[in-house]
């Protein structure tokens, strides 16, 4: 039957990162006799608290006889350590290719791998205890780990795994920064291209509108420059009768023997002229070449022809 032992572990770091220390207390035969208690400690130059919590477990397991299997109850005040095994984090990480739930790399993988390797021929139950409480051996581990962390920097070991992880993170940050810069450059180029396209299309549209405006203005000017046609027949809904009145006034000549008849005709037209006749006359005027001379007599004849049909 495998021998039962108890292990207490704790880690400490003076900063994040900073100098760190780890400690483990191994109690054989569970008799709590000082002769059956083994203490293991180690200190590191630059590391983190979580790494020291894991390193304490490695320190304890490495000190065990490799040819003996133990039933181990391991006590720690680190939820980071106990939850990994009690809540199935390790299984999920393995399934996801050592990625966290949000897709990031699992930190401290080198230490997790080492722990799994060392506990392979042991049976281990991980139990969480409240830190800085009334647990004698947990408090002892805490004091030992902190004492290691407070030692002179030059006397401490180098946490090569942490340095490799830091370098890896720096490379990843540089890669992300470069990718972000490339994306910004691409977005600026696309925006510049879009703005140029819009600008080009706007200029085309504006040029077309300017050409149309100039043409209309030119035609309007030419029509008004004609001595024999001193009006423009632009009919709007609210101005229809005023325009007709203006046209009919052209027919009022002082020496015209039919002035009275034309006056009656004007009133009749003002009261009874249909929109159809107005549109027809407008179409006739607009269809005229603005660069050709149009005689008043010709306008009169057309007026008589169109409005005579609608009397």
Annotated catalytic residues are: 10-11, 53, 77, 132, 142
The CA angle 160-165-166, to the nearest 5 degrees, is 100
Work out the widest C-alpha separation in the chain, in whole angstroms.
Answer: 147
| Residues 23 and 145: beta-carbon distance below 8 Å | yes
Question: Phi/psi at 103 (nearest 5 deg)?
Answer: 85, 5
Rounded to 5 degrees, φ, ψ at 15 are: 125, 170
Q: Which long-range contacts (CB under 8 A, 24 or more apart) does 100-109 make?
A: 107/50, 107/165, 108/50, 108/51, 108/54, 108/161, 108/165
Strand, helix or coil for residue 72: strand
């Amino acid at each position: 039957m495998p021998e039962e032992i108890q292990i207490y572990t704790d880690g400490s770091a003076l900063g994040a990162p900073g100098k760190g220390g780890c400690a483990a207390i191994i109690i054989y035969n569970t008799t709590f006799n000082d002769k059956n208690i083994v203490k293991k400690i180690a200190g590191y130059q630059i590391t983190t608290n979580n790494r020291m919590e894991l390193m304490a477990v490695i320190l304890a397991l490495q000190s065990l006889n490799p040819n003996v299997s133990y039933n181990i109850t391991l006590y720690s005040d680190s939820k980071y350590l106990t939850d990994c095994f009690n809540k199935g984090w390790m299984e999920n990480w393995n399934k996801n290719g050592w990625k966290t739930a949000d897709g990031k790399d699992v930190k401290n993988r080198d230490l997790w791998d080492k722990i799994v390797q060392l506990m392979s021929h042991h049976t281990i139950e991980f139990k969480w205890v409240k830190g800085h409480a009334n647990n004698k051996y947990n408090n002892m581990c805490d004091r030992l780990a902190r004492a290691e962390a407070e030692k002179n920097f030059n006397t401490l070991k180098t946490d090569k795994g942490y340095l490799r992880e830091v370098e890896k993170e720096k490379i990843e940050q540089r890669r992300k920064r470069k990718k972000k810069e490339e994306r910004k450059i691409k977005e600026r180029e696309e925006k510049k291209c879009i703005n140029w396209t819009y600008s080009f299309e706007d200029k085309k549209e504006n040029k077309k509108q300017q050409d149309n405006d100039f043409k209309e203005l030119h035609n309007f000017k030419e029509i008004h420059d004609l001595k024999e046609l001193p009006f423009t027949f632009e009919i709007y809904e609210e101005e229809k009768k005023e325009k007709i009145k203006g046209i009919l006034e052209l027919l009022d000549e002082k020496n015209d023997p039919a002035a009275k008849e034309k006056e009656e005709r004007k009133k009749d037209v003002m009261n009874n002229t249909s929109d159809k006749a107005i549109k027809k006359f407008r179409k006739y005027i607009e269809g005229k070449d603005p660069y050709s001379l149009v005689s008043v007599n010709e306008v009169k004849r057309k007026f008589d022809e169109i409005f005579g049909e609608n009397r």
